[in-house]
């Protein structure tokens, strides 16, 4: 696994940095943006590192971004930060061996809330000013879905309706 820390994804913000975890081997790898929780008021990208390490073991890359906290920046700054991360992933996919057609979002607590907000907006607003509208889809996923561990192709997730993503 390769870890690249503090990549700039948003030049206009002191919190516009992310960490990239890529599996060993040759991509392009599907990628999951892992968003930390913290009540929207605290937390750091490093919180999601254990999750990213597990994803790398099953040939899935991950991006762990920081986002601006609500104590210093009013909403929708946090959504704008995550949208900028999605734009960064799409714009840098080839350079980093990522598959810009297979991008997911996950998060804990406030991070999960941000996933829902950004995911719903990117699928329901065709005028969203972001590449995210072309690369993300919001689907119900069974929380008990299993990732098949293998050295082969990246695992597939099963949705609630038992179709593959």
Residues 43-74 have pLDDT tens digits of 999 999 999 999 999 999 999 999 999 999 99
Domain count, the chain: 1
How much is the average pLDDT of 83-101? 91
Beta-carbon neighbour count of residue 17 at 10 Å? 17
Report the distance separating Cα 94 and Cα 109, nearest Å.
31
What pLDDT does 129 receive?
Answer: 42
Range of the domain at 85: 2-135
Does residue 163 lie in a domain region? no
72, part of any domain: yes
What pLDDT does 123 receive?
61
Q: Quick one: pLDDT at residue 47?
A: 93
Contact 23, 4 (CB under 8 A): no
**3-state SS assignment for residue 100:** strand
In angstroms, the first-to-last Cα distance of the chain is 24
Look at residue 97 in the predicted model and tell me its pLDDT. Answer: 96
What would the pLDDT profile of 2-36 be if each residue is shown by its tens digit?
Answer: 999 999 998 888 889 999 999 999 989 999 999 99
List CB contacts of 85: < 8 A, sequence separation 6 or more.
9, 10, 18, 33, 63, 65
Is the residue at 128 inside a domain?
Answer: yes
Q: Please indicate, yes or no, if residue 26 is contained in any of the structural domains.
A: yes
Judged against a pLDDT cut of 70, whether residue 130 lies above it is answered with no
Structure token pair of residue 148: 């098949």
**Percent with pLDDT over 70 in the chain:** 73
Does some domain include residue 84?
yes
Closest CA to 15 of 89, 87, 67: 67
**CA 34 to each of CA 108, 113, 119, 127: distance values in angstroms, whole numbers, following the listed order:** 8, 12, 13, 25
CATH code at 37?
3.40.50.1820
For residue 156, tell me if it sits in a domain: no
Going by C-alpha positions, the residue among 23, 18, 15 that lies closest to residue 7 is 18
In a domain, residue 142? The reply is no
Say what the pLDDT of residue 95 is: 95
**C-alpha closest to that of 29 among 97, 113, 90:** 97
Give domain status of residue 140, yes or no.
no
The per-residue b/e assignment along 85-100, b for 16 or more CB within 10 angstroms, e otherwise, is bbbbbbebbeebbbbb
């Amino acid at each position: 696994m390769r870890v690249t820390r503090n990549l700039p994804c948003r030049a206009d913000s002191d919190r516009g940095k992310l960490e990239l975890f890529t599996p060993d081997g040759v991509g392009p790898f599907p990628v999951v943006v892992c968003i930390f929780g913290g009540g929207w008021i605290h937390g750091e990208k490093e919180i999601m590192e254990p999750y990213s390490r597990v994803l790398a073991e099953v040939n899935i890359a991950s991006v762990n971004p920081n986002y601006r906290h609500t104590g210093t920046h009013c909403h929708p700054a946090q959504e704008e930060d995550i949208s900028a991360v999605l734009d960064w992933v799409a714009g840098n996919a080839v350079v980093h061996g990522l598959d810009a057609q297979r991008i997911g979002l996950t998060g804990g607590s406030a991070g999960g809330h941000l996933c829902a907000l950004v995911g719903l907006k990117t699928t329901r607003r065709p005028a969203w000013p972001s590449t995210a509208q072309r690369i993300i889809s919001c689907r119900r996923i069974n929380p008990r879905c299993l990732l098949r561990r293998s050295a082969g192709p990246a695992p597939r997730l099963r949705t609630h309706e038992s179709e593959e993503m």
